[in-house]
Amino acid sequence: MKNVLVTGGAGFIGSALIRGLLEEPGVERIVALDNLLTGHERNLAEVNNRIEFHNADIRDLAALEHLFTDIDVVFHQAAIPSVPRSIDDPQLTHEVNINGTFNVLLAAQRRKVSRVVYAASSSAYGDTVVLPKIETLVPRPKSPYAVQKLVGEYYARTFLDNYGLATVCLRYFNVFGPRQDPASPYSGVIALFCTAALAQRAPTIFGDGEQTRDFTYVDNIVQLNLLAARSPTAPGNVYNGGVGARITLNELWSKLQELEGLDLPPRYQPGRAGDVRDSQADLGAARRDLNYDPRIDLTEGLRRTLAWYRASA
Ligand SMILES: NC(=O)c1ccc[n+]([C@@H]2O[C@H](COP(=O)([O-])OP(=O)(O)OC[C@H]3O[C@@H](n4cnc5c(N)ncnc54)[C@H](O)[C@@H]3O)[C@@H](O)[C@H]2O)c1
């Protein structure tokens, strides 16, 4: 793994992955591409003299083919990553999440990239009776976003079977940490809750707050990507990326209030279409095949995240 490229490199997870890759032995050249739709150049501010950044769109196949020249591993993070946004705008999210992912795979195959590691999503599972969710469950996507991310997995597998392109799919559960953008109504819940806590403002919870999530600090997901990029047996497989625990949104807000010394009841609004009720990752496959070991737990992750939002306010 000498030359690597991160799509969505100016986004929350992509920019954390780039920081991980900068520490990775053997990595010599890091290319980031992003069209800055939800990402920001500031996310790469203190590392941008050590990487190459290109303002490019994954819907532009020619640009991808050009940028993928001599690349060994592509980490495909670029997407419009939101369930409610995909319901509001199914066409745009389809074009980026499905057509864009197809282009990434096609360009990788044409440029003889050795491996593509794809950011898939736990939303593919939908509402399952079984918890924790294991990769062998039949997917039951509930939103355009969940379908789109799942189609990416199917394409990734198809490119391996038909063209020999090594692909690995990582189904991230709810990822949080520094640089997650809190500024949009489509933002991740921890970004919204942390910034609400720091502003001593009550957050909005959609539904009764008893829905559960496997909240995963971003460094765990970086570790998973680096392992998936190197493992000789990973190609062709789908792996969950979480911490293997779950808490309710009500418990999450209580925890943040405890950490910040607050007493502010949340505001409730009706539940949102497409939202999954419960989510928790089975990590058996990732631990067994990849030696994945998520070291940062929720409380430590929240401490680090709050500290980051506080410092960057
Ligand atoms: N954050 C989570 O909890 C989570 C969970 C499951 C899966 N994922 C997946 O992880 C990946 C990264 O998500 P994130 O949370 O960092 O979100 P993010 O919005 O911060 O990152 C996505 C990046 O993709 C870029 N992008 C969007 N459309 C593009 C296009 N057409 N061409 C080039 N770049 C484009 C955005 O500008 C942004 O920088 C996504 O693929 C998402 O589906 C995230």
For the chain, give the number of residues. Answer: 313
Q: Is there an atom of ligand 1 within 6 Å of 57 CB?
A: yes
What CATH number is associated with residue 110?
Answer: 3.40.50.720
Asked whether residue 93 is assigned to any structural domain, the reply reads yes
Alpha carbon of 258 to ligand 1 centroid (Å)? 30
What does the pLDDT read at residue 11? 97
CA distance 61 to 111: 12
Instruction: Note the pLDDT of residue 313.
Output: 80
290 in any annotated domain: yes
DSSP type of residue 246:
-
DSSP string, 42-95: GGGGGGTTSSEEEE--TT-HHHHHHHTTT-SEEEE--S---HHHHHH-HHHHHI
**79 alpha carbon to ligand 1 midpoint, in Å?**
4
DSSP letters spanning 247-280? EEHHHHHHHHHHHHT---PPEEEPPPTT--S---
**What is the percent of the chain with per-residue pLDDT over 90, rounded to a whole number?**
96
185 in any annotated domain: no
Taking the CA atoms of 126, 166, 112 and 223 in sequence, report the sign of the dihedral they define: positive
Question: Does residue 116 fall inside a structural domain?
Answer: yes
CA of residue 89 to ligand 1 center, whole Å:
16
Is the Cβ atom of 80 under 6 angstroms away from ligand 1? yes
pLDDT of 34-52, one tens digit each? Answer: 999 999 999 999 999 999 9
Q: How confident is the model at residue 185 (pLDDT cuts 50, 70, 90)?
A: confident
Q: By three-state DSSP, how is residue 129 classified? A: coil
The model's pTM: 0.97
Total tally of structural domains belonging to the chain: 1
How are beta strands 247-248 and 212-213 bridged, if at all?
A: antiparallel
Q: How confident is the model at residue 60 (pLDDT cuts 50, 70, 90)?
A: very high
- 74 in a structural domain: yes
pLDDT exceeds 90 at position 184: no
pLDDT digits (tens, 9 = 90+) for 14-24: 999 999 999 99
Query: pLDDT-derived band of residue 76, with 50, 70 and 90 as boundaries?
Result: very high
Which atom of ligand 1 is least distant from the CA of 181? 20
pLDDT band at 206 (very low <50, low <70, confident <90, very high): very high
> Are 64 and 103 a contacting pair, CB within 8 Å?
yes
Contact 215, 147 (CB under 8 A): no
Averaged pLDDT for residues 190-197: 96
Domain that holds residue 155: 3-175+218-244+281-295
Does residue 103 line the site of ligand 1, with CB under 6 A? no
Tell whether 199 is covered by a domain: no
* Rounded Cα gap, residues 308 and 312, in angstroms: 6
Q: With respect to residue 197, please indicate whether it lies within any of the assigned structural domains.
A: no
- 169 Cβ inside 6 Å of ligand 1: no
pLDDT at residue 25 is higher than 90: yes
- Cα angle value 175/297/304 (rounded, 5°): 75
At residue 72, the pLDDT reads: 98
Nearest-atom index, ligand 1, CA of 14: 16
In a domain, 255, yes or no: no
